[in-house]
């Protein structure tokens, strides 16, 4: 394919998705240091925050070490060239209490996200960002759960609300390249705004899926330094930059400086480098967000059942975030089935 030095915009959610991997405990000093390194490398967008986005810190999904304002203001003070981005899920974040102060703090790019069948909830948040003149993208999470036609219908709603791009998230790391090509190419053909892709690496396909998205017409992809993200991690950013450079695409990122930023991330941000573990593979095959790994393993042990069976049953039931109580139900039912009676 002749790329003609096509420009690809890379967004780096290491300081947001990576926060999942450390129970949302990134400090202001860590945020400041990584922001300076990413900025030096020329990363176009640096995304920060609680793993679940703006205003998500809670007992239910995990409490951040520092508040949203400190996260955003620290990043803003240490980004001279890179744009500052945040992830916003309506239901966690309200407009007046959370989004307005974020924009006042100097956020440049807002990614308003919903489950892949619930774009309706994003209308007010997207419209507010547009009214403020802030760049806003629509994000469809768990996008493997529906086929290209209903996915397009939800994306079209976001476009009509004012979204300036649509990002498909492979939240469970479930896609294979053919899945990416089928859905991304369809959205590129049907929408009048750019399409992006956010890969997770549960099946070891993060880079391959990102490349497939680009070859199918996507002009934006996400990547995290050393893959720093939930579960098996995300597409590895420094690898993505190197591969796209090799393929003749233009990212505007300096490879040497990006490698330095990734080395810094490994030393300063991570407790362990994300790897594709056995349970991550099962999570990807089941199509279940790998953030459920710890509660699944804990409850599987408690009920004396195989965590892999729990994941596949959760996938069959199409579990999504907010339905954590189903894990207990599934583990209990599997235990009862195994013993031939009520648990």
> Token pair of 93, please?
């974040």
Q: How many Cα atoms are found within 13 Å in the side-chain-facing hemisphere of 104?
A: 9
Mind listing the domains of the chain with CATH numbers? 9-268 (3.20.20.70), 278-339 (1.10.8.60)
Q: Which CA distances in Å does 308 have to 92, 239, 288, 297?
A: 30, 30, 11, 9
Phi first, then psi: give them for residue 166, nearest 5 degrees.
Answer: -125, 130
Return d(Cα 343, Cα 333) in angstroms, integer: 7
Stretch 91-104: mean pLDDT: 97
Return d(Cα 219, Cα 185) in angstroms, integer: 11
Q: Do residues 168 and 151 make contact, with C-beta atoms less than 8 angstroms apart?
A: yes
Return d(Cα 152, Cα 160) in angstroms, integer: 12
Neighbours of 135 (CB within 10 A): 17
pLDDT in tens, 299-337: 999 999 999 999 999 999 998 876 778 999 999 999 999
| Of 38, 11, 42, residue with least CA distance to 269 | 38
DSSP-derived letter for residue 116 is T
| Of 37, 16, 44, residue with least CA distance to 165 | 44
DSSP-derived letter for residue 19 is H
The predicted model scores a pTM of 0.94
pLDDT in tens, 31-88: 999 999 999 999 999 999 999 999 999 987 889 999 999 999 999 999 999 999 999 9
pLDDT in tens, 196-214: 999 999 999 999 999 999 9
Phi first, then psi: give them for residue 288, nearest 5 degrees.
Answer: -115, 135
Residues in CB range of 89: below 8 A, 6 or more apart:
52, 53, 54, 56, 112, 113, 114
Least confident piece of the model among 3-7, 16-20, 209-213, 337-341: 3-7
* 87 classed as catalytic: no
- The band of 290, judged by pLDDT with boundaries at 50, 70 and 90, is confident
Does the pLDDT at position 1 exceed 70? Answer: no
């Amino acid at each position: 394919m002749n790329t003609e030095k096509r420009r690809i915009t890379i967004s780096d959610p290491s300081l947001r998705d990576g926060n999942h991997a450390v129970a949302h405990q990134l400090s202001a000093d860590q945020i400041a240091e990584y922001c300076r390194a990413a900025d030096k490398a020329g990363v176009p967008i640096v995304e920060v925050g609680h793993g679940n986005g703006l205003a998500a810190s809670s007992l239910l999904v995990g409490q951040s070490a520092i508040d949203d304002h400190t996260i955003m203001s620290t990043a803003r003070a240490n980004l001279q060239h890179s744009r500052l981005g945040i992830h916003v899920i309506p239901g966690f974040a309200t407009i007046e209490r959370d989004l307005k102060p974020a924009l006042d703090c100097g956020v440049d790019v807002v990614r308003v996200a919903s489950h892949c069948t619930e774009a309706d909830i994003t209308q007010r948040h997207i419209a507010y960002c547009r009214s403020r003149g802030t760049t806003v993208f629509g994000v469809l999470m768990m996008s493997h759960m529906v086929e290209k036609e209903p996915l397009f219908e939800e994306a079209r709603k976001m476009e009509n609300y004012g979204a300036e791009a649509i990002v498909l998230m492979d939240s469970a790391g479930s896609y294979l390249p053919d899945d990416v090509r089928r859905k991304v190419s369809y959205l590129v053909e049907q929408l009048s705004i750019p399409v992006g892709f956010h890969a997770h690496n549960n099946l070891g396909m993060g880079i391959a899926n990102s490349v497939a998205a680009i070859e199918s017409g996507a002009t934006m992809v996400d990547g995290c330094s050393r893959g720093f993200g939930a579960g098996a991690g995300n597409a590895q950013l420094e690898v993505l930059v190197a591969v796209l450079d090799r393929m003749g695409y233009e990212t505007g990122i300096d490879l040497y400086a990006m490698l330095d930023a990734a080395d810094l991330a490994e030393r300063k941000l991570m407790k362990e480098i994300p790897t594709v573990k056995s349970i991550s593979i099962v999570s990807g095959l089941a199509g279940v967000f790998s953030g459920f790994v710890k509660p699944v393993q804990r409850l599987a042990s408690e009920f004396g059942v195989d965590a892999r069976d729990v994941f596949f049953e959760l996938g069959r039931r199409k579990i999504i975030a907010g339905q954590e109580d189903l894990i207990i139900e599934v583990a209990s039912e599997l235990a009862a089935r195994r013993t031939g009676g009520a648990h």
